[in-house]
Structure 1
Amino acid sequence: MESLFEQLAELSEEERVQRLDVECRDDLELREALEKMFRAMDIEDQFLVSPVKAAPKIVLPQQLGEFELLEEVGRGGMGVVYRARQARLGRTVALKVLSHSVLQTTRQLERFRREARAAARLTHPGIVTIHAEGTVDDVHFFTMEYVAGPSLDDLLRARRHLEKRQWPVESAALEHPAGIAGLIAGVADALQAAHDAGVVHRDVKPSNLLMAPGGMLKLSDFGLVLDQQEASMSYAGEVFGTPHYISPEQAEGRTEEVDRRTDVYSLGVVLYELLTGSRPIEGESAIEVLRGVVEREPRAVRSVNRNAPLDLAIICEVAMARRPSDRYQSAADMAADLRRALHLEPILARPLPLARKMARWVRRNRSSITAASITAMAVIALAMTFREAARRLEIAGLVASVDDYLTMDDREVEELPALRNLSAAVVGLGELTSALSSSDREALEKALRHLDAATERRASRGEEEVLEAVQEPRGLEPWRTPTARIVRGTTVVLEMNEIRRQVGLAELVIEDHADKRWEIDAPGGVVWLQEFDSLTGIPGPAIQMGPSPARFSTPPGHYLVSVRVEDRIVAEFDRIAWVTSDAFRLSPPSVEDERANTDEMVLIEPVPVTYSAEDGTVAHLAGIEFHLAPYWIDKYEVTNGEYAEFVKATGHRPPLLWRDSANWDPTLPKTPANYREDWDELPVVCVMPSDAQAYAEWRGKRLLTYAEWLYAARGPRGRIYPWTDDRTVADYLGNCNQRMVPTPEVTPLLTMYLGAVAPARSHPEAATEDGVYHLLGNVDEINGSLFITDSMEGHFECNPKERFKSGGSWLAGSFKYTLPASHSPIQDGPEFVTHRIGFRCARSQ
């Protein structure tokens, strides 16, 4: 029957009826069973794998009302999704059309409309926004927010089938447990918002989670929604969902038990797949998978991937508990535990009791239990009460686990699986103390002594690895510790402490050589974290750290912290977390602060680009394709007038050029209160990188990375002058043609500055095609990237005290600078500032 069901499932309804007439002519019972299965399953939404026969092509006009259909971006059992252009509003949308092949009943049409209505009620940054619903020429559709990124399913497939260098850049967030925890916590937040509105999704799976440009997963496709504000459309025994991600109550058609905890289960399955690379239940057909969900127990996360963090494994296990009452009771509870794990805080969830795990093991392995053992267990059950028999059997198994451990060699006794098994045995025996015999108690005491010694030895080696990593020579990147070794060593200590905590042993302490604490207080905002790539200086994938106030820890590194309100960035912080750094306590401007805007900024939307070393491109970026996320850049260099507002508002020290000195112009004002307004439009100079960074953060912005500066200046075609693609140009435009003047001992710095600098808004003829002024010439510009040098031996080195500066100042023409060759380092300190160095700001989109 299963084989025939699979064949019929690939047919249209009309073809299916004809085939049933033939196959079941003489077997009415078989036909009735098959028809019941098809009534119980909306089969076209059930299969995860691609069907053998594709859904029929929907023929539509290029124009559907005010929407111009541009390309097909998705296809499913209920319809087709197009990328479309809404001419009236000039925006790109996703447009979902109900397929003619399923428009056969009013029930199908109502389900399609219900999807739009339910999703339209939900307002959350992690849920795809619904715009409108309509019908044109009997074509039913609705429009929604277009998410340009890939789905989580796309990323998982790429990681399974492509070489690492071919993985989409968005998949980098899946490489680290912290990234996984942040992504799934964000999805849990979205589910909680839906649940609060009375909506149960019922089809949470990777293909319905879309990666937005900001690094957040967005929940989509509410086609199987259970809307508590509307009458149920489900029949008793009806199965909804995708087999691999379905909950046991869904798989068994227990529709009355489907609630928010059903979505929690499915999200747990997604987390399982991210942590292990595989789905918990596999099968050769949908029916086999559904049966497996009901009857089989998945392998434990850490038996599939021993490197999965213990806390995340426990969170996954609790979310996927077979009984809804054993799961997280809300998506919010799951999100909170994920963020506790992310912030290295104790989670609230606890593993399922050992007795229940043993019962699950028996169910999973009952085929391997011999007839003799069954008989023996029956005899014992007859001799004593069932409870006593079960208790003695459990104790015997736990003592056997202790004995097995004591027979292991020196190497095996400190392996994590052995320690976990011993810990489970100790916990189990401890819970049964009153029933232990003297020999059982002796086994328990012996196990505790061995567990204490073994975990302490292993934790000591983990701490040694951290110390060695911190102290080892770092010729390639002297500013940065070997993060992988630090994380590995710290993880070992944390795992040993978790084992010791479970059995009541004192926790071991690791010295604070690794993780650095962050505290971000931005009322109303959500905090995101990105680590700068140590070579390119490009920020990596964004990891959501949670709503403010946010508390979390990171290994040493160079990080970008951003604060978002809805989809708008209101503050960004660039920090180097060095091993000796104190905790970072950051309080951005108010989210309503008028400074947090993009006035007089230009949006740059980069495409992947490769710049040649032959142009003078800095060695660590030459010849590689690098990808930049969209960003905003100031059209003009920061002026004295703008910087004076900052100094007056914050009390920050004024630039050195504004202060009196023995060698400087005696008319120079000593305080901003004496500031001369005729300097307002000139670019500010004589500032250190830390000054520029402080100003940028006060504005709710940040400094440009060098890669961003380079792309804004050179563009996708790799021009070497901002104003032209002609590489043979002889004349420099803009303020590039000043000459060197006598040294400061002869000519005061202020006089040199005023004689050479041009207003920030001058020389439009030298601007880029995007309208950015003075990227070559006028003043050098401090960037946020750490300066990297080539050691001439194929290695790159960087120093956390040095940043890039670029642009060549008003002397660019004298030195024949081009854009790729106009960079040099600047250190943070008053002795390194000059009258030719200023800056401009940026902001992530």
Structure 2
Amino acid sequence: MAQNWDEKAVFLAALGLAAKDRDAFLLGACPDEPARQRIRLLLDHHEKNATTGFNPEADSAPIGLADPNQIDEFRLIHKIGEGGMGVVYLAEDTILARRVALKIIGSHLLGSEQGVARFRDEARAAALLNHPAIVPVFKYGSDGTRHYIASEFVDGPTLSTVLEEERSRRQGMTRTDALSWFKRCVEIAATIADALDASHRMNIIHRDVKPSNILVDRHRGPRLTDFGVAKNLTVSPERPVTNIVGSCHYMSPEQASISAASVDQRSDIFSLGVVLYEMLTLQKPFVGADLSQVLRAVIEHNPPTVRSLDPRIPRDLQVICHKAIEKHPRDRYQSIAHLAADLRCFMAGDPILARPPDLTQRILRWLKRHKKAVVLICIAVLAFATLWMRHRLKLQHDLAMAWVSISAGSAPCKAYFQPHSLTTLEPLSDYTAIGPTPVQNLKLKAGQYRILVVRDSDRAFCEFNLVALEAGPDHLAFIRAFDSANEIKSPAERNELRGAFRHTRDIAQGEMIRIEGGDFELRTSNSQHPVLLGAVRLDSFLIDVTEVSNRDYRAFVDATGHPPPYSWTAFGYSPELEDRPVVWVSLADAEAYARWRGKRLPTLWEWQAAARGPKGDLYPTGAQLPDVPAQTLNQNLFGDQLAIFQSYAEHTMSTGVPSAWDGVSGRLRHTFSNVCEFTGTVDLANRDVYLTGRGWYEDPRTRTLANVLTTPLKQPTPRFGFRCAKSILKN
């Protein structure tokens, strides 16, 4: 760090800080404690001079000199300025009889080799240059104790003073006056650009272009001075300039950065652009409460456009100004000569070469300048996109699902569901817990399910065969379990399934039979599925001994207001047929009755197991069909509804009367003599329901218990009836 340490740069930076902030700054900026002590002495000396005013003996000469107002051939007249490294006097060259500006190194730097070397480098840099707009150096010397630089005396104020005067008279300025001022600004900037071009051609970077280093000669125009922190690139080209050097409001981003950013001639272009900005708007483009905030503004922030501060500024002049103060050197003018050329094109009314950055460039530059913000924005956008996508996928998923809500009686209850296989039509697994009721908006894949609602207090339960075909919340299925059938006093609403709790111990003796669970060989067939299934494993269950009669179904209709079967409205309710199996009902009608009774419809395999036994007999009487006469069917049974009803009345028998076909003891009645029966098993692909058993209208020689039929889900039929089943809960 000692090799690259720049004493003057550190002093100037510390000078811009509040006194309370200086020690912390010097701790990191100086290589060692002696260096920090020298900077503190410089600061003390500067503040002392600001308080006491001009005193040649105190400011520039050691005590005891014979004539403190004379240095070699130069006689000091009066003090005209002061900087961090020394004091400037108006002096008279007694040999050549001319007035000069004599800059004398401060006595506080006489003990610093680096300070003296920097002072000498300033003289050498200026002496190498020969341009009308650069204040020339006449001599560098020392009278043995005091080092000095003699340069041309410029009779005129600094540009800083000119700007202060302009600020005081800016209010109320006419458009003509403003345009005249803008023209003068361009002339000053173009002249200083020419001076810097001459400097750059000699490989010297000024590094401290600012209004106070531009003198406005009353006779010769603006002049560039003070090469105190200039850098001669030919002296040490192998080492890039990496110190913070210059005045903070005017330094380039690469100067302001503490990273090892190389500084070249384009840094002076930026500083002159800042000076032009301040001349046009009378405002500094980069400001802050302290040094660190100013440097951060220089590095990270873009100032307002000059036309946003004063719309009278010509557009081309805005383009030139902002081209010069681009953050990255590659985006600025690549030489000060190009800047000077554009300024003169503007003055001549010719087209300028610079163009404002297009939208893509502005976006890319903004992204580079705000990398952290961009990263945070990208993370936020990615997170939002992820959440949005998840929301969309969830929404699409939910819209493709069947929606179910479950409510139960007043006592605490728990709900469960059990899916059925779409291929084997069997229950796939044991019940899966849903949770306590009520359950809102349960989402299930399309399919067939059994919903089980169990009352905690007595283990009474209600079962629902749910055919979930319609997706989305518009087709929400409402499942309601009532404490008893007496509470169901009105027909169910659309998409509503109502059922009553019932315990298996409440089943009347002889009403149902228990089928023990186990393995059953139940191959079945129909025209669409020649072999539906082979071996089946079933849990134990209860099933009605006989079909549901008209008498049973009428009690349901009277209690709930459910619509009666078509035959009752078309042909009247006949008391003579009260004990015959109810027909002309749909699957939904049969399920509604079963739930009202605290039951459900049996699955295809439960019905088959109960009717055929473990070995899968084909007939109620066993494996073989006994000798029976052929049955001739009335062909009108499949077209004439009255004929069908009359045939039903003639050939069916009371559900309570045993049939010659009942066969094996302990099995179901009327599985092969009265009606085909609905099961709770559905062919989802075709939206059909499976039926099994033999009806009165079929020839027994062409039917077996293994034959199954299908009919549309919602279509009532005059030839089909049903019986109910009920599960046996596991402990």
Query: Is the pair's TM-score, using the shorter chain for normalization, greater than 0.5?
Result: no
Shorter chain as denominator, the TM-score bin is 0.3 to 0.5
State TM-score, norm by structure 2: 0.44
| Bigger helix share | 1
The structure that has the greater radius of gyration is 2
